[in-house]
Amino acid sequence: MSDIKISGLVKRFDDAGGPVEVLTGVDLEIARGDAVVITGPSGAGKSTLLHLIGGLDQPTAGTIQIGGQTIHDLPERALARFRNRTVGFVFQDSHLLPQYTVLENVLVPTLAFPEAGSGDEGRARELLDRVGLSHRLVHRPAQLSGGERQRVAVARALINSPSLLLCDEPTGSLDQAASNAVADLLFELHREENNILVVVTHDLVLARRFPRRCELENGRCFAR
C-alpha cells in the first residue's frame, strides 16, 4: 500500500430532525511514513473520518483511495480482507476479549484470513516483548492495568504488519504517565514499521508531538 488520497468526502446521517451532514467535503492526502493527528471539537466528525478511512463505514459522496484503490468500491469480502491485512485499529477502549489471554488476544486478527507458514505466534511474542509485556502472555485483560491493556491493543493492531495504523483517542482513558508511555510506543513502532499513522485525539499534549496536524472544522479538514 502507498499513499492515501481523500477527495470531496461527504458523510450524511439520517436523524429524526432530518439529515445531518457531518463531513461536507474533506480533502486530504497522506504519504507512506507520515504521522498525522486529526483534532477538532466534539461532534466535528473525527471518528467518522477515521472509520471511513479504515473501511468501517461507507461515504455518502466523495472518494477514498489507498494505494490507488477506491476502497469503498470493493466487494464485501475484499473489503474485509483490506481491513484485516492493510489496516490496524486502536480505539480508546482496548476492546480485548476477556476470556482470552494476552497472547491469544494479539493473535485474534490472524484468524480471519490465515496464511500458511506466516509465523503469527512468533510475531505476536515479538510484539508483546516490544511493548514490554512478554511477562504477561498468559494473563487475561482483567489482570492488566489500563495502560497495559492499551499496549496489548497496539500489539494486536500491528500483528498483520498493516501499512496503515488508525488510532481513535488511544490515550483518552489513561492517566498522564500511561498516556505518555502509549504515545511513545506508537511513535517508536510507527518509525520501525514505516507505516502511515493517523491519530484522532482531544489531547493537545499528544497532538503537539505530531509533525503534521489537521483540524476538522465545519465538516472540512484544515492543516494546522
pLDDT in tens, 122-163: 999 999 999 999 999 999 999 999 999 999 999 999 999 999
Please give the Cα distance from 112 to 61 (Å, whole number).
Answer: 30
pTM recorded for the entire structure: 0.93
Q: In what order do the strands lie in the sheet with 212-217?
A: 87-90, 164-168, 196-200, 35-39, 212-217, 220-223
Please give the Cα distance from 147 to 145 (Å, whole number).
Answer: 5
Whether the pLDDT of residue 117 is over 70: the answer is no
CA distances to 5, 82, 158 from 192, rounded to whole Å, are 23, 22, 11
Partners of 198 in beta bridges: 36, 166
pLDDT, residue 213, reads 96
For residue 6, how many other CB atoms are within 10 A of its CB?
Answer: 21
Question: What is the mean predicted confidence (pLDDT) over 39-64?
Answer: 95
Position of cell 477538532?
Answer: 40
Domain count, the chain: 1
Question: What is the mean predicted confidence (pLDDT) over 162-181?
Answer: 92
For the chain, what is the mean pLDDT?
93
Expressed in angstroms, the distance from the first to the final Cα of the chain is: 26
Structural domain range at position 117: 4-223
Q: What is the pLDDT of residues 7-28, one digit of tens each?
A: 999 999 988 878 889 999 999 9
The backbone torsions φ and ψ at residue 38, rounded to the nearest 5 degrees and listed phi first, read -115, 120
CA distances to 2, 36, 145, 158 from 162, rounded to whole Å, are 11, 16, 26, 6
Q: What is the pLDDT of residues 56-79, one digit of tens each?
A: 999 999 999 998 899 999 999 999
Question: What is the mean predicted confidence (pLDDT) over 42-49?
Answer: 93
Residue 159: which CATH number? 3.40.50.300
Q: How far is CA 30 from the centre of its chain?
A: 14
